[in-house]
Amino acid sequence: DQQVKQNSPSLSVQEGRISILNCDYTNSMFDYFLWYKKYPAEGPTFLISISSIKDKNEDGRFTVFLNKSAKHLSLHIVPSQPGDSAVYFCAASAREYGNKLVFGAGTILRVKS
Amino acid sequence: GAGVSQSPSNKVTEKGKDVELRCDPISGHTALYWYRQSLGQGLEFLIYFQGNSAPDKSGLPSDRFSAERTGGSVSTLTIQRTQQEDSAVYLCASSSGRTSGRGSSYEQYFGPGTRLTVT
């Protein structure tokens, strides 16, 4: 049972435009959500997070939106840059589960210059 | 400061052999996690250590997998009698163990991983 789903395996965006990566979850116990970025042959790097008590968190070009009623979150990158090309993983966590992360399968983002 | 390090970076082993993978977490981080990523898949939780508490082993796929964390720092993941389906990238992460604020326990910092290939 996949509790965190990223239904788009890949996304291609023109440089300067907005990238929107989507993530859905099924477990209502999740209370914290994170986005990680991964380059080939490297471990994932933390990008941005949001607590379930908020519906938006912004950090520079990156904004995460959370819709609890829909169990949906999204990552917006604007403007997109070629260096943003990577695999993006959505992850969810619950204090009751010891904060271990449940990851989606990832979305490959390609930003074309 | 130094990030999470893992060794070896690559390991090729024959089916049936035992392997040990090592993780050095960020100094001062009390929580340590092991995940694996199989080809085309997301990261799968394996085991979690928090301070001196008993580890959460709920993600270990079989009793061939075990892990230790000595002295609250370095961790070793051992896979006995490896099978081809064990081939994956094994990732270690650590976190501060704090429950709120920037750098909270939710934010895990990953090492580069060990790519294990079982032939």
Rounded distance, CA A79 to CA A61, Å?
A: 7
Instruction: Say what the pLDDT of residue B102 is.
Output: 46
Question: Given this model, what pLDDT does residue A97 score?
Answer: 76
Closest CA to A102 of B38, B32, B42, B103: B42
Query: What are B's interface residues with A at a Cβ cutoff of 8 A?
Result: 4, 31, 33, 35, 40-45, 48, 50, 56, 59, 91, 93, 95, 99, 105-113
Residue pair B82/B39 in contact by the 8 Å Cβ criterion: no
Q: Model confidence at B103, in pLDDT bands (50, 70, 90)?
A: very low
Whether residues A105 and B41 touch (CB distance < 8 A) is answered with yes
The stretch A81-91 carries a mean pLDDT of 96
Q: Per the structure block, which two tokens stand in for A49?
A: 């997070």
Closest residue on chain B to A31 (Cα): B106
A44 and B56 in contact by Cβ < 8 A? Answer: no
Closest chain A C-alpha to B43 CA, distance in angstroms: 6
Average pLDDT over residues B64-76: 92
Residue A37 reports pLDDT greater than 60? yes
Of A53, A27, A42, give the one whose Cα is nearest residue A89: A42
Give me A10's structure tokens: 């890949």
Residue of chain A with shortest Cα separation from B112: A43
Residue-wise pLDDT for B1-10, tens only, equals 579 999 999 9
C-alpha B1, offset from chain centre: 20
Alpha-carbon A52 to chain mean position = 14
List CB contacts (< 8 A) between B60 and chain A: none
Rounded to an integer, the average pLDDT of B103-117 is 83
**Contact: B48, A102; criterion CB under 8 Å:** no
Query: What integer is the mean pLDDT of A4-12?
Result: 95
